[in-house]
């Protein structure tokens, strides 16, 4: 299933004529099963126009205390398919190791200059044997040194409670112990800082609470995709 959608872009950078298109599989992050005494957060992210925002990461941090122990971080995968990072936005908990399997028949050179994780996977094909550890919370912007238009985001969360909105702008965080939380939203095209989106949220022990967040989006900015033989578009 392939869906054509507007992709999130980095804030403040925009190139109007560069319409960025891509295929994005909408993934619902599979979270570990929550204990019975837990509440859910049904989060909705919309832009100022009221349109649902996909690929927005919703993070919930317990108020006042530590994030609390969750399930230990495992290994995530950020694929490169058809010269695109898949998924476009990959939220992971700090300490997660991410594999970058190359599903294209060409080589890629994945890098990141982001302060949260600077790394480089020089030209390779197939799946590198060792995954990359993302142990520092923050946003890691992924690029390919060969293909300028390839961009991907790994959101490294300090909290174990996070999820990514779907195409309807909604996501449900379940299994949270009841209590007060702070909810934040991040998006590649988020206007302003992530902290600015913080909002307190009381999560009941059982049941669900709705959280609606409206965020501003900067214009989409994606590098122009190089023409591919056999394909007329981008």
**Interface contacts to another protein, rule CB under 8 A:** 9-10, 12-16, 18, 109, 111-114, 118, 141, 143-145, 148-151, 188, 221-223
Q: Round to whole Å and give the CA distance between 149 and 198.
A: 31
Helix (H, G, I), strand (E, B) or coil at 45: strand
Length of the chain: 234
Residue with tokens 């200059």: 113
Q: Round to whole Å and give the CA distance between 219 and 61.
A: 29
Give start and end residues of each alpha helix (H) in 126-230.
Answer: none
Supply the minimum distance, in Å, between the C-beta of residue 141 and another protein: 6
Nearer to another protein, 14 or 62 (CB): 14
Supply the minimum distance, in Å, between the C-beta of residue 83 and another protein: 12
Supply the minimum distance, in Å, between the C-beta of residue 162 and another protein: 21
Nearer to another protein, 10 or 45 (CB): 10
Nearer to another protein, 161 or 222 (CB): 222
- Could you tell me whether strands 161-164 and 57-62 are parallel, antiparallel, or unpaired per DSSP bridges? antiparallel
Nearer to another protein, 161 or 187 (CB): 187
Half-sphere exposure in the Cβ direction for 8 (13 Å, CA): 33
Q: Round to whole Å and give the CA distance between 104 and 107.
A: 7
Supply the minimum distance, in Å, between the C-beta of residue 72 and another protein: 31
Nearer to another protein, 40 or 55 (CB): 55
Nearer to another protein, 11 or 175 (CB): 11
Residue with tokens 């214009």: 219
The encoded tokens of residue 79 equal 């694929």
Supply the minimum distance, in Å, between the C-beta of residue 136 and another protein: 15
Q: Are 192 and 216 in contact (CB under 8 A)?
A: yes
Q: Round to whole Å and give the CA distance between 85 and 10.
A: 15
Q: Are 58 and 122 in contact (CB under 8 A)?
A: no
Supply the minimum distance, in Å, between the C-beta of residue 123 and another protein: 11
């Amino acid at each position: 299933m392939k869906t054509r959608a507007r992709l999130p872009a980095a804030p403040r950078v925009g190139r109007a004529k560069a319409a960025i298109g891509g295929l994005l599989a909408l993934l619902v992050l599979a979270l570990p099963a929550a204990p019975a005494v837990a509440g859910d957060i049904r989060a909705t992210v919309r832009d100022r126009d009221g349109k649902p925002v996909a690929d927005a990461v919703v993070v919930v941090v317990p108020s006042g205390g530590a994030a609390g122990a969750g399930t230990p971080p495992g290994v995530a995968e950020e694929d490169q398919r058809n010269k695109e990072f898949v998924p476009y936005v990959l939220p992971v908990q700090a300490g997660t190791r991410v594999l970058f399997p190359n599903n294209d028949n060409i080589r890629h050179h994945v890098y990141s200059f982001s302060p949260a994780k600077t790394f480089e996977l020089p030209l390779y094909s197939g799946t590198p044997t060792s995954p990359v550890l993302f142990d520092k919370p923050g946003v890691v912007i992924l690029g390919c040194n060969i293909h300028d238009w390839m961009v991907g985001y790994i959101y490294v969360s300090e909290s174990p409670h996070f999820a990514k909105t779907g195409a309807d702008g909604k996501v449900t965080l379940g299994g949270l112990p009841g209590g007060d939380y702070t909810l934040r939203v991040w998006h590649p095209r988020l206007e302003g800082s992530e902290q600015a989106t913080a909002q307190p949220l009381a999560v009941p022990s059982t049941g669900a609470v709705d959280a609606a967040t409206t965020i501003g989006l900067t214009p989409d900015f994606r590098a122009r995709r190089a023409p591919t033989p056999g394909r007329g578009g981008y």
